[in-house]
Amino acid sequence: MDYVPAKYIVAQVKKHNWFGIDYNMNIYRGCSHGCIYCDSRSLCFKIEDFDKIRAKQDALKIIRDDLLKKTKRGVIGMGAMSDPYNPMEKELKLTGNSLELLNAYRFGVSITTKSALVCRDISVLKDIQAHSPVLVKLTITTNDDALCKVVEPNAPLSSERFAALKTLSDNGVYAGVFMMPLLPFIEDTAENVVGIARRAKEAGARFVYPAFGMTMRAGSREYYYEKLDEHFPGLKEKYVKKYGERYNCAVPRVKSLWNAFAGECQRLGLRYEMRDITIDYKRGYTAKRLNLFG
């Protein structure tokens, strides 16, 4: 394992509209999942050899010091730039130990991951949930394991993530599906989005949050197009014609796809709007915090 220096790890976010998080934290740099669409490959992030995982040096000490400096408790987001439960986490336990710090200093957490390894930390997540909001988002972009193996070649299969979701839900952890990105001309079918919603419900999910499209910019675009040529010959030309140099690339027929998805979520009783998910997973904690610290 290579380590990279860091002055701080827990950073305050400028806006509080992304699932209501107050801070962001990335312990690892790079990712080995190999997802063909990953925006973190973009040149603007200046991550060399992106597929190689590196950890922040003295991460736990820095996180502890960062938490001690915070004048306001809040929810800390994990998984914005790299998966906090990458394969190296099984041995290093930096994410698991950082959760122990969040628990000790009474911070909440919002985790985004593709790994069932998150289930290892159910005990500490439940401890955190006893005093602060907890939100776990399992990224699932396709209902088909075979397609998953193509677009997310080194990540756990979709079926494994649904199983992890059930384990989390059965243990009372607030969890659901992060259905993004939805790749145009590949994953943008009613069968796929409705299928994900139904399997999420069966696994006890509280929500499915979607993005009907993807993002592309310098670095990530070239990598994605290379993989399209490898696995979906001829599809790159379709992308170039429709999206050009555009950053936000919405799927075709987005309105009809949204209606099919939203209608199924309503039928199943799943939340799918960020505002509703945020209100739900934070429900009751504001009054509790005022009573304890007001």
DSSP string, 73-131: --EEEE-SSS-TT-TTHHHH-HHHHHHHHHHHTT-EEEEEES-GGGGGGHHHHHHHHTT
Q: What is the pLDDT of residue 233?
A: 97
Closest CA relative to residue 89, chosen from 141, 45, 54: 54
* Ordered domains of the chain (ranges, CATH): 2-293 (3.20.20.70)
Contact status, residue 30 vs residue 52, Cβ threshold 8 Å? yes
Angle between the 235-243 and 220-231 helix axes, to the nearest 10 degrees?
Answer: 140
Contact status, residue 161 vs residue 116, Cβ threshold 8 Å? yes
Q: What is the pLDDT of residue 229?
A: 97
Kindly list the averaged pLDDT for each block of 10 residues, start to end, along the chain of length 294.
94 85 96 94 88 96 97 94 95 98 98 98 98 98 98 97 98 98 97 98 98 96 97 97 96 96 98 97 73 36
Q: What is the pLDDT of residue 294?
A: 32
- Determine whether 5 is exposed, middle or buried from the number of CB atoms within 10 Å of its CB (0-12, 13-18, 19+): exposed
Contact status, residue 53 vs residue 27, Cβ threshold 8 Å? no
Q: How far apart are the first and last CA of the chain?
A: 44
Q: What is the pLDDT of residue 17?
A: 79
Residue keyed to tokens 């007001």: 294
Q: What is the pLDDT of residue 48?
A: 85
* Tokens read off for 262: 């939203």
Q: What is the pLDDT of residue 287?
A: 52
